Amino acid sequence: MATVNLKINGKDVQAEAGQTILEAARANGIHIPTLCYLKDITKSGACRVCLVEVKNGRALLSACTTPVAEGMEVFTNSERALKGRKNSVELIMSNHNKNCLSCKRNQNCELQTLCEELGVRENKFEGEHTKPTFEDASPGIVRDTSKCVLCGRCIDTCKKVQGLGILGLQNRGFNTKVGPVLDKGFNDVNCMQCGQCVINCPVGALTEKEDIHFVIDALNDPNKTVIVQTAPAVRASLGEEFGMPIGTNVTGKMAAALRACGFDRVYDTNFGADLTIMEEGTELLKRISDGGTLPMFTSCSPGWIKFIEYQYPELLPHLSSAKSPHMMFGAIVKSYWAEKNGIDPKDIYVVSVMPCIAKKSEIIRPECKTGEYVDVDAVLTTRECGRLIKMFGIDWEELADEGFDQDLMGEYTGAGVIFGATGGVMEAALRTVKQKLDGKTLEEVDFMACRGMDGVKEAEVEVGGKTLKIAIASSMTAAKPLLEAVKAGESPYVFIEIMGCPGGCINGGGQSIIPASKKNGKMGYGYKELRMKALYDEDISMPLRVSCDNSQVQQLYKDFLGEPGSEKAEELLHTSYSPKDKFNVF
């Protein structure tokens, strides 16, 4: 790769030909603030916050769009550059809702940080504000255009990461706003509710719909037995809500904090993950032996489920009918657990702490209701869980580690833990399927081909004397080629894992929000890999690492379900899906 010699702030640096000034500066430890820039997704220069001065240049240039050139001299902190940046931020603030104290993004807002860094202390430009839109009709996402800075990050994330493009700029000039087509609501278009737009929004224009108040009401109801379960990816992110390093595993503190909040039982969704593998693995084996629809797709990600219902309804027969782990957990709590504890299911309130915004829409799906009861009553994102703990006045730093409750549904394996990373569901399934078909305890449980951050991973695995071809994808742009091949009847695979969010649940729309500068800069480089490592480290430390070895899951089948795929299991642990209209805007 050819190199380019240039100076930044008087320092001789080298950059790769084709790099932008911003990329060259960051590679050499020089900070240039940004707002609209999102590495590998957006670099429009629209916000004008990354302005720099180039020697002999007539105007300030946006660092994120200007390529480096041989002999170029760049000044990132000249009086002219700083004044230009400050002016850009002041203009943005002139049309911004400044109710920062009541905003969910208070103290984790990129615009707020810019104001602090650039010394914006007063409202320099006062005047009329663009007429705002406030929309909270969807189960998971709230849109407040009074806080939008028109950076376009949500638009490009939806288009380039998920391949949907449901968001765009509406109107022109002063009346410009961001929203779904015709300024309709998220419920009126083919939105996955994945929340990638939310975690990539720099301000509070897009946030999750908060359900904390419902949970608090249940905790204060003496007639309710309130049970909480936590998804595997939450432990790798929740600590960030309390200032801990990215990827810190906080399993023990999390369990202690939730117990201190007053939950009657604190469980891990990993039990449900192990149960999911038993059902999904059995379903796969049955499809292989009976000539069923192949390849089989995983069905744990509700964002992915909404995507296939909208975009590829003809491929629905390929979906596993297994419910996701937290829904299975809820169904078993309100049947088996309730029976064993002599509690009427109507008096049980199940709360799921999830890394995912789409789980909020999953729990209200009519297909996921078991009998007269919903499986799960409320979903809190990782961020909401952090707020709940703070609201209850619990001193996170002083919490001693505690374990999950162990009665009936407290045991889990390492296979359940890795569900939170892309490839984790596939690896967990392969462990159980291989052990079952080989008829002996696995000597090697690590399927390394399933790991890593590539958008698509492919492998051949020897199972029961047969070679199975498998594939793994996370994000819908990565999944589309696999889906098109299946649609064309050209797919060589037997089993395909698809997750809605890039990297899987560790990067779910409900996880802790990392500012773009820390995601891509030195401080937060590889944040997804750090969270992923936390899960694999816990997996390695577990005494049991194969789902079918979970003794409480075995007891559940013995006492209640009969066997995987039984009539009882089908009733409680499986569901169905149906095509959805792509657009309902007229």
Helix boundaries (H) for 291-380: 302-311, 325-332, 338-341, 359-362
Q: Check residue 297 and give its pLDDT.
A: 98
For the chain, the average pLDDT equals 95
pLDDT value of residue 20: 96
Quick one: tokens of 326?
């937290």
For residue 522, the model assigns a pLDDT of: 44
Q: Residue holding tokens 């015709």?
A: 182
pLDDT band for 416, please (50, 70, 90 cuts): very high
Angle, CA 481 vertex, CA 454 and CA 152 arms, to 5°: 70
Is the pLDDT confidence value at 585 over 60?
no
- Percent of the chain past pLDDT 70, that is, above it, reads 98
Find, among 152, 143, 331, 299, the residue nearest to 227 by Cα. Answer: 331
d(CA 56, CA 487): 56
Contact 313/333 with Cβ under 8 angstroms?
no
Report whether pLDDT(483) > 70.
Answer: yes
Query: DSSP state, 541?
Result: H
Helix axes 251-261, 382-391, angle to 10 degrees: 50
Residues contacting 60, CB < 8 A, separation 6+ = 51, 52, 53, 80, 81, 84
* pLDDT tens, position by position, 284-301: 999 999 999 999 999 999
**Non-local CB neighbours of 123 within 8 Å, separated by 6+ positions:** 93, 94, 98
Residues with catalytic roles = 280, 283, 300, 320, 359, 362, 367, 505
Q: How confident is the model at residue 448 (pLDDT cuts 50, 70, 90)?
A: very high
Q: Check the CA dihedral 198-203-209-212 and report its sign.
A: positive
Q: Is pLDDT of 347 > 80?
A: yes
If you average pLDDT over residues 306-310, what whole number do you get? 96
Percent of residues, the chain, with pLDDT higher than 90: 90
Q: Could you give the CA distance from residue 25 to residue 13 in angstroms, rounded to a whole number?
A: 9
Give the confidence band of 523 by pLDDT, cuts at 50, 70, 90.
very low
Q: What is the pLDDT of residues 533-565, one digit of tens each?
A: 999 999 999 999 999 999 999 999 999 999 999
414 and 539 Cβ atoms separated by less than 8 Å: yes
Could you tell me the CA-to-CA distances from 200 to 93, 153, 161, 509 in Å, in that order? 19, 6, 11, 9
- For 117-173, the pLDDT digits (tens) are 999 998 888 889 999 999 999 999 999 999 999 999 999 999 999 999 999 999 999
How much is the pLDDT for 520? 53
Residue ranges of the alpha helices (H) in 521-580? Answer: 527-541, 551-556, 567-573
Residue 423 has what pLDDT?
97
Euclidean distance between CA atoms 173 and 440, whole angstroms = 68
Model pLDDT for residues 351-382, shown as the tens digit of each residue = 999 999 999 999 999 988 888 899 999 999 99
Average pLDDT score over residue span 444-456: 95
Are residues 196 and 155 in contact, defined by beta-carbon separation less than 8 angstroms? no
Is the pLDDT at 221 greater than 60? The verdict is: yes
pLDDT in the model for residue 583: 58
- For position 19, what pLDDT does the model report? 95
Is residue 568 within 8 Å of 562, Cβ to Cβ? Answer: yes
> What 3-state DSSP class applies to 111?
helix
Higher pLDDT, residue 41 or 266: 266
Structure tokens at 106: 């208070």
Q: What is the pLDDT of residues 230-284, one digit of tens each?
A: 999 999 999 999 999 999 999 999 999 999 999 999 999 999 999 999 999 999 9
Q: How far is CA 93 from CA 57, 82, 96, 198, in A?
A: 28, 16, 5, 20
